[in-house]
Structure 1
């Protein structure tokens, strides 16, 4: 990622206690990115101007437009007026799926459901997931630290979300960041879809996200075969329901030393011991979960 491309210096005016004055600051870039399939513009999303091929592939996979990267025959990233166009040539079968699930051209910042024309297009069924992945929550602290270290733009702007693919020991196989949580996840899923055929470690099915676990985050992850989704913040009711039906292991409030397991705990252990649903796992003991009032739900 080119930090100069994704962030810009500005002059800000800050109040600090009794002082007020001009200070240098840095803000994240945000540009409209149009995804164009076989010459037809499908959706416009707001995103950081980086890793856009990965975004296009991940969006195509997580939205069910394609099943694998090989269904994209060509792709070009083209600068446009105040934004970027990603032009994709996809198989005729994929293009037919796309036309059946049309979107309007305007979307908000990384919103996974903005612009959908039919309510039924939002609530899409997901095939039940296999049970091949496991993760020991004793490695969660390492994963959280690694995710923070990967957020180069977020470190200087405080303005990005991240999504990380984890190995068995909490190390990051890959990490993507964006101003939108959905876009960050799509970029990661796209990188996974592009690299897994030649790099076996990218077949990992465990993902950590810096945001809340909303319905569309669960749906995107499950649609791409992710079996374990670990979220730093809260999960919504529909996200829990969707994860339960899809067979996805969902844990919320993943913070140093603890996590709240909401669905399918059988894939998780804590220092080798089975995790349980609906309780906090911490490094010392299991306890009934009570969310602190100051917890973020971003």
Structure 2
């Protein structure tokens, strides 16, 4: 059997530094086609980092609304070939039958994070209402984001991989997953939390990327009341977060950040307007 490729790889290169070009090398992230197969039917193919694949399979099925619990995904079989990696699962508890009905009207799977939608209208998903009363201190949130780089073992090697992390403000625990795609990283995190029976409603999702609407939708499906990121959100992401009751914190740079929706969950805020 073909071996699973490593998440990172050292390659030779020419490096120009201070007007001098010399032979060098760099560790870069691996990118591999990963196919999700449910009941023998391929649902989508994502270009992803070949790490934490069990988490990826469970989290993808969860955030795409195919399952509500890891038990409904059954056992995940990982099949490696020269063409890529296939994650095979047979859905349980009536989910396989529902999936077959869904595929009959599927327009076509994509790798954009909105996989298996039936129409343009389906891209605007009905999200659960997040009425969670969780609140976090501003300085604690800043400290949690500052801890994230140390939890990114693959990015420390490559400086080219996104991370999604879950921070529990009560215990201080930080769970991180990485991938070249920010959607993939969040799916892996969702799978990790689900498999470890960690309730996303107890903490904050941290992202090393901008916040697109897909990330808000996936985080809402997880039940996360707060999402925080280092870059800016899209306008549609803000509207979705506002509608479902999610607190969206973005542009976290050093000790500065901006809260776009439901600011009551972030304590010790300064109310004065800052241009």
Normalization by structure 1: what TM-score?
0.83
The within-5 A match list for 1:117-156 is: 118-156=119-157
CA distance in 2, matches of 1:289, 1:86: 48
8 Å CA contact 1:11, 1:25 repeated in 2: yes
**Counterpart residue number, 2:47:** 46
Gaps of 5+ in 2: none
Give the CA RMSD over aligned residues.
2.1
8 Å CA contact 1:165, 1:173 repeated in 2: yes
Gaps of 5+ in 1: 276-284, 291-298
The equivalent position to 1:218 in structure 2, one of 213, 216, 219, is 216
How many pairs does the alignment contain?
268
8 Å CA contact 1:35, 1:86 repeated in 2: yes
- State the 1:243 CA deviation: 0.4
- The alignment partner of 1:5 has SS state of coil
- State the 1:89 CA deviation: 1.2
- State the 1:84 CA deviation: 0.7
CA 1:241 to 1:71, structure 2 compared with 1: closer, same or farther past 3 Å?
A: same
CA 1:128 to 1:219, structure 2 compared with 1: closer, same or farther past 3 Å?
A: same
- State the 1:205 CA deviation: 3.4
- State the 1:115 CA deviation: 7.2
CA distance in 2, matches of 1:201, 1:42: 27
Matched, 1:257 2:263: no
CA distance in 2, matches of 1:104, 1:120: 14
**Counterpart residue number, 1:296:** none
- The alignment partner of 2:114 has SS state of coil
8 Å CA contact 1:71, 1:91 repeated in 2: yes
Normalization by structure 2: what TM-score?
0.90
Matched, 1:266 2:264: yes
- State the 1:87 CA deviation: 0.5
Cα deviation code 1:58-115 (max 9, x no counterpart): 11111111111121222111112331111011026323443426364552xxx31377
